[in-house]
Amino acid sequence: MERRLLEAAQKGNIDELNDLIKSNGLILKEMALKGASSTPLHVACVAGHLDFIRELLKLMPKLAEKVNVDGFSPLHIAAARGDVEIARELLRLDQRLCFVKGRERRIPLHYAVINGELHVMKLLLSASPESVVERTAREETALHLAVKSNRFDAVVVLVEHLKQNEKEQVINWKEHKGNTVLHLAAAVKNFEASHAVPLSYRTFICALF
């Protein structure tokens, strides 16, 4: 029955979901208690089935907090995929989902930054402005991740957010190797000389100041 539930989530089949719930009203709770590697909500978020997700959240809102075996909560998945509508639906349930930590203590914003998903980034920052100061297990800020991932557009969004919220000090924070974002940007500049990395050091400095 659990397999059928996951298949229904993958297909976005709400009728099948309702039939399974009628057969066993506790099936969602049982899956959660067993510590399944992924819940139906994870699967539906990967597949992008918004209506199915809405139905699941009505039935069992607690699923939104679950982190799967790969370290992803449903909001992590939506952020990484750049799925604004699903991210918005999850945030309607609880904006604190922005702070759920996955592998290496990464929050959903970190994955949106790494993948350059600007629309989801802006949504997450609007829902939880304080999430911008969260660090990974390697003491990386979202800014560190943006530079390391060569996401200059994300750098611009993050710096503007920091300025608007009077948190410019984050720009000078160091990650586990003692690097600020300026150190990392300088390293990228040196790398550009022979590899044509599409991140302008001069433009980066202008964005910071």
- Is the pLDDT at 168 greater than 70? The verdict is yes
Find the DSSP H helices in 24-151. Answer: 27-34, 40-47, 50-59, 74-81, 84-93, 108-114, 118-127, 142-148
pLDDT at 4: 92
What whole-number distance in Å separates Cα of residue 96 and Cα of residue 193?
43
The whole-number pLDDT of residue 205 equals 53
pLDDT value for 191: 44
The dihedral over CA atoms of 16, 92, 146, 142, expressed in degrees to the nearest 10, equals: -120
45 pLDDT more than 50: yes
**Mean pLDDT, the chain, whole residue set:** 89
Residue type, 140: E
- Mean pLDDT to the nearest integer, 129-137: 97
Cα distances (Å, whole numbers) of residue 96 to 52, 63, 86, 125, 190: 22, 14, 15, 12, 40
Q: Tens digits of per-residue pLDDT, 79-116? A: 999 999 999 999 999 999 999 999 999 999 999 999 99
User: For the ranges 73-87, 109-123, 132-146, 154-168, which has the lowest average pLDDT?
Assistant: 154-168
In this prediction, residue 26 has a pLDDT band, given cuts at 50, 70 and 90, of confident
